[in-house]
Amino acid sequence: MSTPDVRALLTRGEHDEAARLLREAGALREAAEVLAQVWRHPEAVELSLASERPEDAYKHAMASGDARLVERTIDALASKPDAARRAADLAEVRGRISDAASLRRAAGDLAEAATLYERAGELALAARIHEHANDLRKAGMLYERRLVEAPDDAASALALGRILLGFGRPEHAVRALQRAAKNPELERDALPWLLRALVALGLSDAAGEILDRLRASAPDLPIDPLAAAKLLTEREALPQTEVSELLLGRYRVLRALGAGGSGRVLAAEDAFAAREVAVKVLSTGGGVQGRDALSRFAREAQIAAAIEHPNVVRVFEYVGEGPLLVMELMKGGTLEDRLEKAEPLSPLVAQHVARSVLRALEVVHRRGVIHRDLKPANVFFGSAGEVKVGDFGVAHLVDAQATLTGAMMGTLAFMAPEQITGDGQPDASTDLYALGVMLFQMLTGALPFPGPDFVAQHLGSPVPSVSERTSWLDPAFDRALTTLMAKTKEERPRSASDALFLIDALPFAAAEEAFVRASEKGAAAPRLERASQTPRSQPPASSEGRYVPREILVRGEVESQIADDTILGRRVLLVPGDDVAIAHHRALAKAVSPFLQTVLAIDEDTKQIVLDWPSGTRSTRDVIDPSRMSDVAEALDVLEAHGLSHGAIDRAHLVVSDARAVLLLPIAKAEGSIDDDRRAAARLFGGR
């Protein structure tokens, strides 16, 4: 056979004969290519698998459009791992991520396969690989995600139930196993595990019903549920999760964070979700009052656990054993920590805290939850500077067991008159009274009613004037605080939204400038901290020697400087600008969000714009972790609310940390609409 012979045959359309000659000559790869030209893909696959380039078999199978042929080809490549890897590269380039995952799995590259399956949305397959590799924590998390999108996936429910039971979480395992047991094909597999979970929870009646169903097909099982569960455990051990040293089989205690009237708080590592959490071990009084308080708190904890808001401490779960409340760990301390020196905070910091608290109260009040114990110890700072409110409902536990000389004494400084007298049901305005007390303390460094006779002062004393105590606050602050701390509920704002309007009308920017001048003269004892608000028209202090350069950042034609701010104690971005850039950033400064870069200051004289520089990394992957998409969506919502758009949604403008994703502001004025931004964000996170 010669090449001209094959060419002549192909010219005449005699592909069968050309392929035959090539096969006889041992040119199997070339023969496969000839057959593929006339859509003889199954034969092309068989020839490729026997050739020196078996990975070509996947190419031909893919071209056929026959899913079953693709699946058979991937299975065949399992005996040729190097070829499977090369085929996986081709699949990934072509965007066939699920195929790439299957090929990596066929090649034995299980970690890479699991990553690709997860990227392709094949969560159950990714979970199974992690489960077989004994990474049960990762497997369990993926099974949980799978069941959110496919509640009827009984196989995933069974696998998750087994894993949760191994982690010592029978209350969660029961729900998953009950779902699995509803599937007739998996009922026999799920019932033994469900029996063991019910026994672990002490639910003997429910366990007995499950045992009756099991004994119908396995009469050798003992009639006692506890004995049957023990026998089943001997037959099949739980997944090995090393739970012996873990609290409730899941939480590894790291250190104590504090204690109070409602319990003690521990920092712990969640061995299942691989994150640090705060675990509050709650304490209640005995008797009917204690039980009622715990019941009320459990209901409110369930409501709080359903709330996801950037200004509310996330509640992950309430556990009746203990009882325990598992929450987001806030590493930046509390407002109480920042007020312990009895010095006023920067007015813009006070505004930032007050607005954050009010945004939290807006969402929880709409859910019918009143905090009742709002105070600086329950206002938390995250590692990225965000402010969140926590401990919703805990006041119930204190109220049920405390007296004025006991646990309640520590909160009287922030209690509204109706709480002290017990006249009327606390409502939204009750929390707003406490906010007024906190705002007064932040602005002056002192409580409005310092005691010792808190009761008489809250019930009868007028609100002191903050403008008389400080030289930098306008009398408008007096009027606002008097409204927030009115003696009767009817005189206060009726909602957190109304209070937010009241706060936004106050001249905080002017107060900040006066506060800085007073601090420079030694007339104040300031704690200058960053506030995410509209920038001052002048920098807070002389820029000379203030910023320590770190590195140059180039975006477009603008060269900016990342630097350390020695006064504020955090990293900033110094952007040179002209009148157009300054006007652009002044407009952007109105959009305030924990997920949006903040304009800190604008120096009209030097034409320098100061932005915060959020901690985190800029992704090098084409597609960003989809779990961060909600952060970007909220940032875009804030921009839209102020009539703005971004115009540069890409990897270079996104910083991702463990706490959040932050959208960096565009250097130049945006071209395009907010809808263009949303489409770009969708592409960034793997959408179309």
Report the pLDDT value the prediction gives residue 401, as an integer from 0 to 100.
Answer: 36
Q: Which amino acid is at 477?
A: F
- Cα first-last separation, the chain: 50
CA dihedral of residues 106, 107, 109, 113 (deg, nearest 10): -40
Q: Six-digit token pair at 270?
A: 């969640």
**What CATH code would you report for 335-511?**
1.10.510.10
Q: 443: how many CB neighbours lie within 10 A of its CB?
A: 27
Structure confidence at residue 465 as a pLDDT band (50, 70, 90): very high
CA distances from 563 to 242, 512, 577 (A): 45, 23, 17
Percent of the chain with pLDDT over 70: 82
Domain boundaries along the sequence of the chain: 3-121, 130-235, 251-328, 335-511, 539-688
CATH topology of domain 251-328: Phosphorylase Kinase; domain 1 (3.30.200)
* Residues whose CB is less than 8 angstroms from the CB of residue 534 and which lie 6 or more positions away in sequence, other chains included: 509, 589, 590, 599
Beta strands 315-319 and 324-328, pairing class: antiparallel
Structure confidence at residue 479 as a pLDDT band (50, 70, 90): very high
Phi-psi region of 445 (alpha: psi -120 to 50; beta: other; left: phi over 0): left
Q: Six-digit token pair at 284?
A: 């209640």
Strand partners, 596: 663
- Is the pLDDT score of 490 beyond 70? yes
* Residues whose CB is less than 8 angstroms from the CB of residue 47 and which lie 6 or more positions away in sequence, other chains included: 23, 28, 29, 31, 32, 35
Q: 68: how many CB neighbours lie within 10 A of its CB?
A: 9
- Of 1.25.40.420, 3.40.50.300, 1.10.510.10, 1.10.275.10, the CATH number of 539-688 is 1.10.510.10
Query: Which pLDDT tens digit goes with each residue over 160-185?
Result: 988 888 877 787 888 889 889 888 88
Q: Say how far apart CA 437 and CA 449 lie, in whole Å.
A: 9
Q: Which residues are catalytic?
A: 373
Look up the pTM and report it.
0.47
Report the pLDDT value the prediction gives residue 541, as an integer from 0 to 100.
Answer: 36
Hey, CA dihedral for 103, 109, 112, 118, is it positive or negative? positive
Strand partners, 570: 565
Q: What is the mean pLDDT of residues 262-287?
A: 73
Report the pLDDT value the prediction gives residue 495, as an integer from 0 to 100.
Answer: 93
DSSP of 53-93: -TTHHHHHHHHHT-HHHHHHHHHHGGG-HHHHHHHHHHHHH
**Which helix (DSSP H) or strand (DSSP E) does residue 5 occupy?**
helix 3-11
CA distances from 560 to 120, 530, 565, 649, 667 (A): 38, 20, 15, 19, 10
Q: What is the mean pLDDT of residues 582-599?
A: 81
539-688 shares the fold of 335-511: yes
Q: Say how far apart CA 509 and CA 338 lie, in whole Å.
A: 21
452: preceding bond cis by omega (within 30 degrees): yes
CATH topology of domain 130-235: 1.25.40
- Is the pLDDT score of 543 beyond 70? no
Query: Which pLDDT tens digit goes with each residue over 607-662?
Result: 888 888 887 776 555 556 666 777 788 788 888 877 888 988 888 888 887 667 88
Q: Are 444 and 470 in contact (CB under 8 A)?
A: yes
- Is the pLDDT score of 565 beyond 50? yes
